[in-house]
Structure 1
């Protein structure tokens, strides 16, 4: 989904890209403006961060996917003449401050609290040397699964190999300037013990949050009291010491020359600190993009410890990856609820955008999410039935396998089979799975009242009078004619094309509540054309006989 293929740079595309207001282009233009008065570096560096205290999750996917979209937009704007790299950086030298909930043996890890994650033994089994090694491998497998083009980086390797030594020595040299930035952000008690340097105890191996007794910039060392009270001096280089997370952000940007990094809103207040540390160390801070956080169905922030919201595995159990990619593209600066009810809409919106793409001019194409999701090369997919319709077909027919669904689909759309439309076949499987887990348990049929019984009986009679092969539009029009003659369903705020009042949505809500046991459904005409007029009339007869409620 997200690798960077060769770009077909035609003049129309380039002209539209220069004017595009799509957010990936807006972010890419910031990077170009960054070098307006100088040459580009050999490689423009995009970075994302990963905390290996837990497994990669839906937020990890979103951050890498969105950064890839900006990176691709940058390639287009620079006519693919500037090399770029996406660095996925794992903060695996952070101390394990608490034992994760998802490990098989918590007692096994208790002796290793506060050690760097790369020094904590692996509790999951296998050939991985440490807890971080295991989770880093899961990250790489995760990103590879989605086809991202990236380079993995380990904080432990970078610290120990000397990649950060120059900046760590500079941090010791400019210690007072860094402290002047950090101390005003801390409470009085924390100020008394704070240091941007966190030594790794030579005796216990733990990351120590202790005050510095001396910082010798010339020697490149720090002196502190170890856990047993013994005064200890360590070099700030070679992985003997790491930085607190806020100074670490700015130091990493300075050491690597990061040009672009996005992060969640929970980092926003600290971004100015990261920038100032980076500047103190003699580098220009990268361009930022702050995205909003995801909320659960109750509007609460999603938290790994709470276990609220969706995991990426849960989403991909019920919908294709592309629907998740669309969800990540849309309105990234707006807080969005992330729970199971959003999935069907995301699926249908993805295929709607995909269907519209070939008909659009370049200006509209570059504002279409699928162009960004597929790196400028969206696939051509014919989808004669929407995901929402499939879900309601499953609901009405109680289909438990794809063969039942395909019986309806093939009758409705001649020549459409699982072989000719494999994408539709894939969606049929998702629809059955989603229905069984989320729709069936919540279905509540209700009995129609007298007005509703009369409306349904008239609807059945009208459907019976339709010519064979009536399409969705004809069926919808016939249903509207039934509703217009019933006072309860007349909407005087609307006007029918033929004159007179329009039809209230209450009519179709009633149909889905009584016939399918759901509050909402797709367009009635489209559904009936797919399910079948005869089958819909039989469903009405069951409802009138009280069989559905029973």
Structure 2
């Protein structure tokens, strides 16, 4: 264990770099609260999206890394800012007209447009927790409404009241003239309407713990800042939460860099040290637009899991958090295959490389063994060529290619076969565009079909290619069950027909036979799909019967 800890202390994997920054906070003494606190924040003004999951996943990776380099206990709080007022109705929910009647109410008081929970925030909180629970995250859920109304924040709210002017001095220079004229770090919850009001604080009484504000109808009202009668403005609220709970680490999106700066200043005004932070790049949709909860663009957690196992999503989240990534459906196959490549590499790696392998940060010390004997991208092409409607059809081909595999012995592969059929039918099939071959391509495809039918023709094609390249290696043994031999046939035919660069030959195969501009290593595809079946596929492509 000491050797592993030594490796972790020098590892350049980003979760360890983050964990070492957290550990440095306590190089002189352990935290008085008895644990290191990691926090993620979520605003339930819209449905949870994949970015929310990513923040929990990444923070968990840092937490796991910290636990390897330190014996200090840890906690992770997933905090829902559900006392905020509803400022606009999300565009991706039903019953929007009814919801519009609840504008400015705290999110826990806004009606649930889906009709399943007491309020909109409760619905979104439940969806988030259900997913995190299903995935096995260890966390404590926290509700702003419960923390405010139960008095958990009262002590820090009174300190904020006492230091009101200093907080205002931090915030006012960052605001426009109009906003500056009405800004207060305290937002009263109106006893008349229940609305969260953005109004100036007219008076404050530190001894009584109250503020005075004016209702929209002109009446002046005095309310305590404790007990859930007020909600703090966003940046001040973030700082107050850090200070009240003793948060040690919280990451956030690049769009919140300025908020982190201001909240950190306020946290110090409240007498506490702000947490360590990581500003990660945002996810964009297919058009390069920022993913938004209210717009509902980009992928949801549920959508990813419709087409791939959750570990592939974790893998995607691990990759370069400070680099912007587009997040839409066609990133899924690549993430799946790369994840399994890392799984296969892990057992033979030394300690340093294991700690740099994404699968360690996904699974900790319990890294599973991959049973994906066929890449996901290959399964997609198999689904395409076979027009598979269910994974049973897929297993008819898989069983011939990998006779030792079965749904019972290879459950991951079985699940992937089902995902591949679903992904193909929803995304690949509608976008498939077959084209007729050129004269050069037609001659080459016919020769490829002939070589797959007759080993003498195949070996002659390989010999011709070798001679043209000045290669005097002996001819391979003709083995039509060997994907390397099949690949050598495909390669030789392309060379013999003068394709330069050779990738134009493979591009032609994919476009004519699979209706796509890119595809798998074709020798492996032939081995999986079947030699005879591939010959039939080529003949259909030559006859124009695939489109």
Tell me the TM-score normalised to structure 1 length. 0.92
**Deviation of the 1:365 alpha carbon:** 0.8
User: Separation in 2 of the partners of 1:24 and 1:536?
Assistant: 46
User: Separation in 2 of the partners of 1:510 and 1:518?
Assistant: 9
C-alpha deviations, 1:61-107, integer Å up to 9, x for none? Answer: 111111111101000001xx211110111111111112233444334
User: Separation in 1 of the partners of 2:249 and 2:294?
Assistant: 29
Kindly report which structure 2 residues correspond to 1:125-524, keeping only aligned pairs within 5 A, or say none: 125-126=115-116, 128-466=117-455, 467-487=478-498, 489-491=499-501, 504-524=502-522
Specify whether residues 288 and 462 from structure 1 end up closer, same or farther in structure 2 by C-alpha distance, changes over 3 A only: same
Unaligned runs of 5+ in 2: 456-477
Specify whether residues 476 and 122 from structure 1 end up closer, same or farther in structure 2 by C-alpha distance, changes over 3 A only: closer
User: Separation in 2 of the partners of 1:248 and 1:197?
Assistant: 9
User: Separation in 2 of the partners of 1:73 and 1:265?
Assistant: 23
Farther-moved stretch of structure 1 (379-388 vs 179-188): 379-388
Kindly report which structure 2 residues correspond to 1:29-44, keeping only aligned pairs within 5 A, or say none: 29-41=20-32, 42-44=34-36
> 1:48 corresponds to which residue?
40
**Deviation of the 1:124 alpha carbon:** 3.2
User: Separation in 2 of the partners of 1:397 and 1:129?
Assistant: 48
CA contact (8 A) 1:56 1:142 kept: no
User: Separation in 2 of the partners of 1:274 and 1:380?
Assistant: 44
User: Separation in 1 of the partners of 2:155 and 2:95?
Assistant: 40
**Deviation of the 1:116 alpha carbon:** 1.2
User: Separation in 2 of the partners of 1:378 and 1:278?
Assistant: 39
Specify whether residues 406 and 170 from structure 1 end up closer, same or farther in structure 2 by C-alpha distance, changes over 3 A only: same
- Pairing 1:89–2:88 present: no
Structure 1 runs of 4+ off > 6 angstroms? none
User: Separation in 2 of the partners of 1:529 and 1:111?
Assistant: 61
User: Separation in 1 of the partners of 2:387 and 2:300?
Assistant: 28
CA contact (8 A) 1:53 1:100 kept: yes
**Deviation of the 1:468 alpha carbon:** 4.6
C-alpha deviations, 1:154-194, integer Å up to 9, x for none? Answer: 11111112111111111111111111100100111111111
Farther-moved stretch of structure 1 (252-261 vs 165-174): 165-174
Farther-moved stretch of structure 1 (109-118 vs 220-229): 109-118
**Deviation of the 1:451 alpha carbon:** 0.9
**Deviation of the 1:330 alpha carbon:** 0.6
Specify whether residues 280 and 406 from structure 1 end up closer, same or farther in structure 2 by C-alpha distance, changes over 3 A only: same
Q: Which of 533, 536, 545 is the aligned partner of 2:534?
A: 536
User: Separation in 2 of the partners of 1:422 and 1:38?
Assistant: 48
> 2:523 corresponds to which residue?
525
Unaligned runs of 5+ in 1: 1-9, 492-503
**Deviation of the 1:121 alpha carbon:** 3.6
> 1:498 corresponds to which residue?
none
C-alpha deviations, 1:418-456, integer Å up to 9, x for none? Answer: 122111111100010111111111111111111111111
CA contact (8 A) 1:249 1:274 kept: yes
**Deviation of the 1:39 alpha carbon:** 2.4
CA contact (8 A) 2:92 2:296 kept: no
Count residues with an aligned counterpart: 524
Tell me the TM-score normalised to structure 2 length. 0.93
CA contact (8 A) 2:46 2:294 kept: no
